[in-house]
Structure 1
C-alpha cells in the first residue's frame, strides 16, 4: 500500500493509468457489459461500483481538454424505458474533479462496443445500474 492511493485502485489499475498516454481511453464497465470479450486489456474490480471507481480514478486522471467530449456514455437503446439516474452522479463527480461542467457524449450500444475494442483498458466493475458504462479520454497534466 502507498499513502494517498485509495484502496479501490489496485496495483494493476494504477499501472494502467500510469501507462496510458494522451488520447488513450479507459472504459469503466458495469456488471452487464461483455468486458472479457471486448477488452484488449481487462482489469477486474469485482465488488465495486462505478461511481466509487470514477471518484478514485479522477483523483489522478486528467481528462482530455483538447476534445469536445472527454467523457462518453452508452446511450439508452431506442424504445427502452430506462432513465439512467447514475448519469447525474457521474456529472457531479466529473464536475468536482474538473472544476467545471463537461458535456458528455452519448454513443449507440454497438458503436460503444467497437470503441471499447480500441480502448487502452477495460475495468470490469460489479455495478448493477443499467447503462452505467463510461469511457474516459486521458488528457495531459499541466
Structure 2
C-alpha cells in the first residue's frame, strides 16, 4: 500500500475512485456497521460498496469531506439518519451526530446536518452513487452527502449569498 502526500491514509484507492467518479449532485452514503450496506449497494448507481474497517463515522467524514466538495446550492447537502417519527434519539446517536457535525464544520463551515427518518434514509441511500461502510457501532451513524463543485480557486463553489 502506498501513501500520497496531502491525502488522508483512510482514503483507500477504491474510495478515492468513488469520490473522483462522482459528479456534481451525486450522493454518497457513509454508514455504520449495522446498516444493510451490501443489499443497498446493489441498487446504487455504481453498485459499489467500500469498507473502511476500524473507522468511526466522524473520522470517516473528516477524511472524506476533506477532499469532497459539498453542494452548497442545495438546502441539505448532509443528511443524517434519525429514528422514525415518535421514537427517541438514543444518547449515543446524539453523540455521533454532534461529532459528525464537528467533522463537517471543519471543512464546510456553512453546512449544517439535517435529519432524514430511518425508512426515508434507506430509500434515499438506494439512489446514491455508492455506499461506504464504517465500523461505527453507535446507532444512527449513517449520513448521505451530496457532492458539490470545486471552483476555479480550488475551494468549494458557493452561492454569492453565502
TM-score normalised by L of structure 1 = 0.93
The equivalent residue for 2:90 is 82
Pairing 1:88-107 to 2, within 5 Å after superposition: 88-100=98-110, 102-107=111-116
Q: Is the Cα contact below 8 Å between 2:26 and 2:128 reproduced in 1?
A: yes
- What does the per-residue CA deviation read over 1:78-120, in whole Å, with 9 as the maximum and x for residues that have no partner? 32451321111111111111133x2322112111111111100
Q: Is the Cα contact below 8 Å between 2:82 and 2:140 reproduced in 1?
A: yes
C-alpha distance in structure 2 between counterparts of 1:73 and 1:12, whole Å? 23
The equivalent residue for 2:69 is 62
The equivalent position to 1:140 in structure 2, one of 143, 149, 161, is: 149
TM-align CA RMSD:
1.2
Stretch deviating more after TM superposition (15-24 or 44-53): 44-53
The alpha-carbon distance between structure 1 residues 106 and 99, as it changes in their structure 2 partners (threshold 3 A), is closer
SS in 1 for 2:137: coil
SS in 2 for 1:42: strand
**Structure 2: any 5+ residue segments left out of the alignment?**
42-46, 152-162
Considering only CA atoms, is the larger Rg found in Structure 1 or Structure 2?
2
The equivalent residue for 2:59 is 52
Q: Is 1:118 aligned with 2:127? A: yes
Residue correspondences, number: 141
C-alpha distance in structure 2 between counterparts of 1:87 and 1:99, whole Å? 15
Q: Is the Cα contact below 8 Å between 1:35 and 1:42 reproduced in 2?
A: yes
